[in-house]
Chains A and B, each alone.
Chain A
Amino acid sequence: MLGKTAGSLFWMARYLERSENNARLIDAGFRIALTRSSTAQAEWRSVLVTAGQDQLFRDAHGEDYSSSRVVDFMLRDPANPSSILSVVKHARDNARTARTYLTREVWEAVNTSWMTLCADLKRQVREDDLPDTLTAIRQQSAQVRGAFAGTMLRNDGYNFARLGTFLERADNTARILDVKYYLLLPSVAHIGTSIDNVQWETILRSVSAHRAYRWLYGAEISALKIAEFLILYRQLPRSLAFCCDKMNSNLGWLHRSYDEEPEAARMASSMCRDRLSRPIQAIFDAGLHEYITEFLSANAALARQIERDFRFVE
C-alpha cells in the first residue's frame, strides 16, 4: 500500500481517538466545574493543559476560563486546530485520502459522524444540552469503531489504523497523569490528606474507568492504586500497558507480514519491557513525574519512527 495511505489511516484513527478523548475531558471538566464553582476556572485550565490547547486558548481569550468559553473553544472553534470539530474534519479528510482502503461502512460512519457533528455544532451548545452533545460524539465514534472492527480486512492498513488509535490513546492517558500527577504523589498521601474524592473521580472519568476501578479495587481510593490502574493494569483498554501491548502486537504483525523488522517494532517492545514491566512502587520510587515525562517523549519518538519506517511522507 502507499505510504501516504498508511499515514492517512494512522492519522484518521489518531484524530478519531482524539475527538473521543477530548469529549471525555470536556465531560469530566464540566462535572467538576458544576460541583465546584470556586475552583471551576482552575479545573478548566487543567483540562485545556491536558488537551494541549491552553496556549492557544490564552492567545484567543486571555485568562477567562469560564465554562462556556472553554467548552465552545474545545468543541467547535474553527480557529482551534484541536477543537472536536476541527479534529473530526481532519479525520474525515484523512479518511477521504485513504478512501480506497476503507470499506464503505467505515467511510460512511466517518462521514456521518462529521455531518452529524456539523449539524450539532452549528451554534454554540447550551449548557443543558452539553451532556447530550457529548454523548452523541461518543456514540458516533463508537459507530466508526464498530464498522471498523466488523468490516475491515485484517491487513496492513488495519494495523496502521490500530497503531494510530493506541498511540493517541496512550498519549492521552499519559497527559492526564502528567497534569494531575501532583494529586497522586505519595508525599501528599503520606501527610495524611487522602486524595480528594472529586479529583480522583475526575481522573477516572476522563478515561471512562470510574466504574471499572470500583469493581476492581472496591472503595479503597489510593494514589498508588489509581496510578497502577492507569499505567500498568493490562485489562483496562486505556492503560499505558494495554496500549503498548497493542502497538507491540500491531508492529509485530507488520514485521511478520513485511518480512523485515521495523525499528519501530524494536522501540515498542522495549517500551513494554522497560517501562511497563515493573511494579508501581518502583515507578513511584524513581519519580512518577519523571516517569510520565519520559513515557510521553518515548511515545512521541515511536510515532516519528513509525512514520519513517513506513514512509508516510517523502
Chain B
Amino acid sequence: MRPPYRDFCDWFEAEDVARIQRKAQQAEAFFRTTGITFNVYGADDADERLIPFDVVPRIIAASEWRRLSRGIEQRVRALNAFLHDIYHRQEILRAGRVPVELIARNEAFLPMMMGMDPPGGVYTHISGIDIVRTGANEFYVLEDNARTPSGVSYMLENRETMLQMFPELFAKIDICEVSDYPLNLLKSLAACAPPACGGTPTVAVLTPGIHNSAYFEHSFLADQMGAELVEGHDLRVGAGRVAMRTTRGYTPIDVLYRRVDDDFLDPLNFRPDSMLGVPGIWDVYRAGGITIANAPGTGIADDKALYSYMPDIIEFYTGEKALLPNVPTWRCSDPEHLREVLDKLPELVVKEVHGSGGYGMLVGPAASKKDIAAFRKKLEANPGNYIAQPTLSLSTVPIFTKAGLAPRHVDLRPFVLMSPQGIRITPGGLTRVAMTKGSLVVNSSQGGGTKDTWVLED
C-alpha cells in the first residue's frame, strides 16, 4: 500500500462492504438520471451508455503532485511555444530539431495559421496531458491532447458523486478542491478576449449538437460557466463579428470555446460540406473579431508522429530537460524503426498517428495471433500511419469489485488552462481505469471506467 492511501484504507476497513456496494449502485442510478452518458460511435444501437464508475478514489500525495504539475506546466508552455514558432518563423525546423516533412505533409498542420497571432498569444487554452505511472517515482507522458480534450465533466461529477456518497471521508481527509474548474475556465477564456471586445467578454460553447458523444460535457460546461451553448446554426457572421441568434436579435460573441474540430469550423474556408460550423468565422478570427479556443491548428502539437520529438521540443524552447519523460516510441515511417517493430509486434502497443479514443490500435500482448497477423499487413501497407511503444508495466490501483478490492491499470489526464495570466492545473484530473482484469485499455469507448482522483493537501 502506498502511503497516501493510508487514511482511506483505515476508513475502508471499518466500513461495511454491503453498504459500499449499495452506494455504488446508487451512484450508477445517479449517473443515469443526471444523463452523464456518452454515445458510442459505430455501435449498432446508437444508445447512450454509462461510463463505469469506481468508488475507490485514486490518491496522489501532495509531493507527487507538485512534481507532476511542474512537469505538466513545462510541457504545456513548450507546446504553446512550439505552436507559435511553427506558425511563424519555424526556428525549430531551421535548427533541424524536427524534420520539415513531418510538418509540411501533416494534415494537422494548418497553413492558414501562418503569421496569425491568436488573441493573448494563447494556442492551447485547454489541454489534457495523459500520464501513466510505472513505479514509485516513475511517471511517463503517454499523449498530449491539445485539440479539444474531453473528460473534465467526469472529473467534476466523480467528485460530486463521492461527496454525496461518502461525505464523512471528506471531513476526515484533506483533499484539494476541483470544483472551481468551470469558474477558472471562464476567467481563463475571458482573459483571451479579442481586440474587438468592448466590455465584459461574452463566452459561448460551440457543440456539434445533442447527438455528439460528448454532448453531456458541452452542456455541463456551458451550464457551469453560465455561458450559452451554441450550435453552428445559431451563429452568423456580420459586421466583422460572429453573433448568436437570441430571442431579441443577434449578440456578438467574444470567445468561442469550440468543441468542434478544425475541419468543421468554417465551411467557406475548410470542409465545404460541414454543417456544424459558421461560414466566415475564419475571416472574423483573422481580423481579431473573435477568439477561438483552442486555436485552429493546434492539432500539429499533439500529433502522434510528433510526440516522439517532444523531449527535443521542450529543450528547444525552455532550455531545460523535460521533467516528465516520454514513453520510448518507434516511428514506423522510419524503415529501421519499422523493422524493429515488426520483429517485436506481439510485445508492443501500436497506434495510428492520427487516431484517438483507442480505435484502430493493437495491444500486442493482449491480441490473438490472427489479430497480430492482420495488423502486420495494415502496418506494412502504410507504415507512416503508425507509431509503436513498448507495453509499459503500468502501475495499478485498487478498484471495488464484488470480490473485494482488486488491482487494475489506470492512467491520468490532468486538465491545464492557459491564459495570458498564466497556467492553471486542476489538482488531479481524470483517472481512467481499465475495468477488465489485466487490460491496459482505459478508453471509455472500449469499456474503460473512471474514478475520483484525490490530491492530498500537505
Complex Cα spacing A112 to B30, Å = 11
Contact A2–B228 (Cβ < 8 Å)? yes
Contact with A along B231-245 (1 / 0, CB 8 A): 101100000000011
Interface size on B, residues (CB 8 A): 22
The chain A residue sitting closest to B47, CB to CB, is A118
| Cβ 8 A contact of A2, one of B32, B33, B210, B230 | B230
Residues of chain B contacted by A255 (CB below 8 angstroms): none
Contacts A311-B245, A314-B245 hold; do A100 and B234 have CB atoms under 8 A apart? no
Shortest CB distance A13–B (Å): 15
Q: Taking the complex as formed, is B87 at the interface, i.e. its CB lies under 8 A from any CB of chain A?
A: no
Set of chain B residues within 8 Å of A2, measured between Cβ atoms: 228-230, 234, 244-247
- Mask, A96-127, CB within 8 Å of B = 1, is 11011000100110011001000000000000
Q: Is A3 interfacial (CB 8 A cutoff)?
A: yes
A212 to B246, CA, bound (A): 42
Q: Which of A96, A104, A108 is in CB contact (< 8 Å) with B215?
A: A96
Closest partner residue, chain B, to A118 (CB atom): B47
Verify if A4 is at the interface (C-beta below 8 Å from B).
Answer: yes
Q: Is the CB of B246 within 8 A of A311?
A: yes
Which chain B residues border A93 with CB–CB below 8 Å? Answer: 210
Name the one of A4, A6, A97, A111 contacting B35, with C-beta atoms under 8 angstroms.
Answer: A111
Interface residue? A310 (CB, 8 A):
yes
Chain A at the B interface: mostly helix, strand, loop or mixed? Answer: helix
A100/B222 in contact, CB under 8 A: yes
CB within 8 Å: A-B pair count? 61
- Whether the Cβ atoms of B234 and A112 lie closer than 8 Å is no
A99 to B215, CA, bound (A): 10
Provide the residues of chain A in CB contact with B222, threshold 8 Å: 100
Asked if B80 CB lies within 8 Å of chain A CBs, one says no
Q: Does A215 contact B (CB under 8 A)?
A: no
In the assembled complex, A156 has its CB within 8 A of some CB on chain B: yes
Classify chain A's interface size. Answer: 20 to 34
Are B247 and A100 closer than 8 Å at their CB atoms?
A: no
Q: Encode contact with A along B197-239: 1 for CB under 8 Å, 0 otherwise.
A: 0000000000001100001000100110000111101100000
Contact yes or no, B33 A97, CB < 8 A:
no
Point out the residue from B32, B209, B228, B231 that lies within 8 Å of A115, measured CB to CB.
Answer: B32
State A84–B234 Cα separation when bound (angstroms): 29
- Taking CB atoms, residues of chain A closer than 8 Å to B244 are 2
Taking CB as reference atom, which chain B residue is nearest A94?
Answer: B210
B172 within 8 A of A: no
Q: How far is the CA of A112 from the CA of B34 in the complex (A)?
A: 9
Besides A107-B35, A258-B247, A311-B246, 10 more A-B contacts (Cβ < 8 Å) are A1-B246, A2-B230, A3-B234, A3-B246, A93-B210, A96-B35, A99-B219, A100-B219, A108-B33, A108-B34
Q: Can you pick out 23 interface pairs between chain A and chain B where the beta carbons lie within 8 Å of each other? A: A2-B229, A3-B246, A3-B247, A4-B231, A5-B228, A5-B229, A6-B247, A96-B35, A96-B210, A97-B210, A99-B219, A99-B223, A99-B229, A100-B219, A100-B228, A100-B229, A104-B34, A108-B35, A111-B35, A115-B33, A311-B245, A311-B247, A314-B245
